[in-house]
């Protein structure tokens, strides 16, 4: 078997017969520009800008500078993020072994061409539609395609479907369909086009913005007509008054600052060697209540060393070498045996059955006998030998049995190499009240001893799943009682995750092997190691590029920071939207002009919302995340918005009946005061950084009062100052009372 020649590969590449999959989800540069420029609110702001220009009031068009800045920031950030992630995603690229010119080569899956001969082994995802040329034994999991979890045995001449993965064994297969012609590609194409990041926060913000988009235009038209015909103002004054109202109701920059903050989080984690598909994964981990850890690759390095051989048959060494020789693609256990004894033997075999997580053993037949190598407690029947097995497991060792026709030839005692930083990770999750579950295919007592060495608090709460019925109801009880689960098959791993979710937990699952794929798919958040099986990386939302679990606490912290800070930012933006909406309704009822000019709303918006939000969004904040983002924002925002609306509306009533000569200036100062008060309240707990931000904003605010002809303010009398002070004092007391429990 020689595979294709270099000339044939070149010809097929030139004919576009390569395995490049269609990417309907990829956005072009034009898509990014279009989605940031051609939006409903940008259209509305442009229309408002043109209307204000007709009045000749240039200073009232300054709000457009904020709009343009938002557009430029959004486009720049998306281009930068796209370029960096393209560079960092190299860790998730899939490589395969192909035969070309009679030699084996490792190439990217995209570089496979039609008729290439590919060597596939356990853990590899099948890159294209193929036909098996030769195999001694092969099991394939097609659950990513069919939804069926049970492995399917494959033989020479059978078809392999792209998107499935090899569970056990190996084969040589020929690529019969590549790229857009594969079955997997047809699924991708039917999935549709690019969708924005899907998260609870972004969905809530999008819902708020969508509702406001329906309200703003009709309400603005009604306010304009009311001001023009009932208040008796000229059309120029009616336009400026209406524009101030509409500008206040538009939550300009809210979605932008949210996506920029989210994108920054993804980039920050990428620089820490954690490749996150999108912000929704970071947000999900910030809400995780239970983390399921696979022992291998998380608590241990995955390297296994042979510690001792307890032999009951003088030929045991020879047959261990035969196992090492018969299975050239070695898992970590077989590699440990190979490193200890090599594969030099004169023995031959008749047939092979590779190791799988479901069986817990590998098998070969030679000379009319059946030899098995696998979990000792599965293969051994002798009470005396089982006693030795228990003693070795009690020391935290992994014990395999080599059997011949059911009789034990030897016990192979092996030890895992612990990860140095695993204890630090376990301690962090414990202090953050995140429940930990260790799930392993090994004997639970062995896992328990390893967990104890790492300082795992619940090391003694372990269970062997083989002793319990495989039902969801049973597992829901087990996950409440135990923290370590041993002898777990791939299907049982998935059922454990289902049980945790059924109990109301938000579950993150880490894993690196084929046996973890089903559970990774089921979890709310899947975390895979870069050196793990391709199939595991294919279903994961987070890939740890250095196969090191230590970045996961950082992801948790970053997720909490982003979620909490976005909530703060939303509190700021929605305050202006809220009180502007209330005031618009009040002044429509009064038949009076809106009490603010556009420049006044621009100053208040920039200094109490826009500018501080960019700084506050970067502040460290790893407190636990609340369950309901929308309700939390409403509780923080509504009292202040209602208070501003009622006070300013009351000033409008007093002006209309003649008790106040000019409500505009009073309204401006009171609104600015409560907006700054809300900014301080949102910034709790106060830090030096936050005090600096608020202090700078206050200085800029007072500076704006002295800019000639900038703000349409008039002087206040002594009684006005007294009245304003009393209003501010009353409002402060009321707001403190409203938020006393927060």
User: How many angstroms separate the CA atoms of 574 and 380, rounded?
Assistant: 67
3-state secondary structure of 471: coil
User: How many angstroms separate the CA atoms of 707 and 367, rounded?
Assistant: 99
Token reading at 635: 């509780």
How do the domains of the chain map onto residue ranges? 1-195, 197-266+556-738, 274-299+419-555, 306-417
- Cβ within 8 Å of residue 370, ≥6 positions away: 363, 404, 405, 406
Candidates 413, 168, 428; CA nearest to 293 is 428
Lowest mean pLDDT among 243-257, 449-463, 488-502, 690-704: 243-257
Please give the full DSSP string across 586-642, using - where no structure is assigned.
HHHHHT---S--HHHHHHHHIIIIIHHHHHHTTS---SPPPS-HHHHHHHHHHHHHH
User: How many angstroms separate the CA atoms of 296 and 415, rounded?
Assistant: 12
Q: CATH for 1-195?
A: 2.70.150.10
Burial 351-366, CB ≥16 within 10 A → b, else e: ebbbbbbbbbbbbbeb
User: How many angstroms separate the CA atoms of 579 and 560, rounded?
Assistant: 29
Protein fold of 274-299+419-555: Rossmann fold (3.40.50)
Average confidence (pLDDT) over 306-322: 92
Banded model confidence at residue 240, pLDDT cuts 50, 70, 90: confident
pLDDT in tens, 412-425: 999 888 887 888 88
User: How many angstroms separate the CA atoms of 196 and 193, rounded?
Assistant: 10
CA 233 to chain centre: 53
Superfamily of domain 306-417: Calcium-transporting ATPase, cytoplasmic domain N (3.40.1110.10)
Q: Is the predicted pLDDT of residue 647 greater than 90, yes or no?
A: yes
Q: Are 197-266+556-738 and 274-299+419-555 in the same CATH fold? A: no
Which stretch, 141-150, 262-271, 390-399, has highest mean pLDDT? 390-399
Domain 197-266+556-738 = CATH 1.20.1110.10: yes
The contacts found for 107-112 with CB under 8 angstroms, 24 or more apart, are 109/19, 110/18, 110/19, 110/20, 110/21, 111/18, 111/19, 112/18, 112/19, 112/175, 112/178
pLDDT in tens, 546-559: 767 778 888 888 87
Is 59 in contact with 709 (CB distance < 8 Å)?
A: yes
pLDDT in tens, 18-76: 998 765 455 678 888 887 888 777 888 888 888 888 887 777 787 787 778 778 877 87
Catalytic residues: 294
State phi, psi for 436 to the nearest 5 degrees. -115, 135
Banded model confidence at residue 481, pLDDT cuts 50, 70, 90: very high
Can you tell me which residue has the tokens 């932008």?
256
3-state secondary structure of 673: helix
Candidates 669, 638, 649; CA nearest to 739 is 638
Please give the full DSSP string across 9-22, using - where no structure is assigned.
HHHHHHTT-B-PPP
């Amino acid at each position: 078997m020689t595979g294709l020649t270099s000339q044939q590969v070149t010809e097929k590449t030139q004919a576009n017969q390569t395995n490049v999959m269609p990417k309907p989800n990829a956005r072009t540069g034009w898509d990014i520009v279009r989605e940031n420029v051609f939006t409903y609110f940008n259209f509305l702001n442009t229309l408002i800008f043109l209307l204000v220009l007709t009045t000749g009031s240039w200073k009232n068009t300054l709000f457009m500078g904020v709009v343009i800045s938002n557009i430029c920031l959004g486009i720049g950030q998306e281009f930068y993020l796209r370029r960096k992630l393209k560079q960092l995603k190299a860790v998730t690229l899939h490589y395969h072994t192909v035969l070309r010119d009679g030699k084996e080569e490792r190439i990217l899956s995209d570089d496979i061409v039609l008729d290439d001969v590919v060597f596939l082994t356990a853990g590899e995802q099948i890159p294209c539609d193929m036909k098996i040329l030769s195999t001694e034994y092969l099991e394939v999991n097609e659950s990513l395609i069919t939804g069926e979890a049970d492995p399917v045995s494959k033989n020479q001449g059978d078809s392999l479907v792209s998107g499935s993965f090899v569970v056990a064994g190996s084969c040589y297969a020929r690529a019969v369909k590549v790229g857009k012609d594969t079955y997997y590609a047809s699924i991708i194409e039917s999935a549709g086009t690019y969708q924005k990041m899907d998260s609870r926060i972004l969905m809530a913000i999008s819902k708020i913005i969508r509702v406001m988009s329906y309200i703003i235009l009709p309400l603005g038209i009604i306010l304009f007509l009311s001001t023009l015909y009932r208040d008796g103002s000229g059309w120029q004054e009616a336009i400026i008054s209406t524009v101030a109202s509409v500008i206040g109701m538009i939550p300009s920059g809210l979605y932008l600052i949210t996506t920029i903050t989210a994108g920054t989080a993804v980039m920050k984690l990428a620089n820490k060697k954690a490749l996150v598909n999108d912000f929704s994964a970071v947000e999900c981990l910030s809400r995780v209540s239970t983390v399921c850890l696979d022992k291998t690759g998380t608590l241990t390095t995955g390297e296994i060393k042979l510690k001792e051989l307890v032999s009951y048959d003088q030929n045991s060494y020879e047959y261990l070498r035969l196992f090492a020789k018969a299975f050239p693609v070695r898992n970590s256990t077989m590699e440990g045996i190979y490193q200890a004894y090599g594969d030099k033997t004169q023995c031959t075999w008749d047939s092979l059955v590779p190791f799988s997580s479901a069986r817990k053993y590998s098998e070969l037949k030679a000379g009319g006998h059946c030899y098995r190598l696998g979990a000792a407690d599965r293969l051994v029947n002798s009470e005396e030998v089982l006693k030795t097995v228990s003693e070795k497991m009690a020391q935290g060792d992994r014990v395999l049995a080599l059997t011949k026709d059911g009789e034990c030839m030897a016990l192979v005692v092996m030890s895992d190499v612990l990860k140095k930083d695993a204890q630090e990770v376990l301690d962090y999750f414990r202090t953050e009240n995140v429940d930990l579950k260790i799930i392993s295919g090994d004997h639970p007592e062995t896992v328990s001893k390893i967990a104890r060495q790492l300082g795992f608090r619940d090391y003694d709460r372990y269970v062997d799943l083989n002793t319990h019925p495989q039902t969801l109801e049973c597992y829901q009880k087990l996950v409440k009682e135990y923290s370590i689960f041993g002898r777990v098959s791939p299907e049982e791993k998935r059922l454990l995750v289902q049980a945790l979710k059924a109990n109301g937990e938000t579950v993150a699952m880490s894993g690196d092997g084929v046996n973890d794929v089903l559970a990774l798919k089921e979890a709310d958040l899947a975390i895979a190691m870069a050196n793990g099986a391709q199939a595991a990386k294919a279903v994961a939302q987070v890939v740890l590029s250095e196969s090191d679990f230590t970045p996961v606490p950082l992801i948790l912290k970053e997720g909490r920071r982003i979620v909490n800070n976005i909530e703060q930012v939303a509190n700021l933006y929605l305050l202006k939207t809220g009180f502007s909406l209330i005031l618009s309704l009040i002044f429509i009822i009064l038949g009076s002009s809106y009490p603010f000019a556009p420049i006044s709303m621009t100053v208040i918006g920039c200094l109490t919302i826009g500018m501080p939000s960019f700084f506050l969004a970067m502040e460290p904040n790893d407190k636990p995340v609340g369950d309901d983002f929308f309700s939390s924002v409403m509780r923080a925002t509504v009292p202040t918005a209602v208070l501003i609306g009622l006070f300013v509306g009351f000033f409008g009533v007093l002006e209309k009946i003649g008790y106040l000569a000019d409500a505009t200036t009073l309204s401006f100062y009171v609104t600015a005061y409560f907006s700054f008060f809300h900014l301080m309240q949102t910034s709790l707990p106060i830090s030096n950084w936050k005090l600096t931000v608020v202090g700078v904003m206050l200085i800029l605010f007072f500076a704006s009062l002295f800019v000639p002809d900038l703000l349409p303010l008039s002087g206040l009398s002594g009684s006005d100052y007294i009245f304003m002070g009393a209003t501010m004092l009353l409002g402060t007391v009321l707001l403190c009372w409203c938020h006393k429990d927060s």
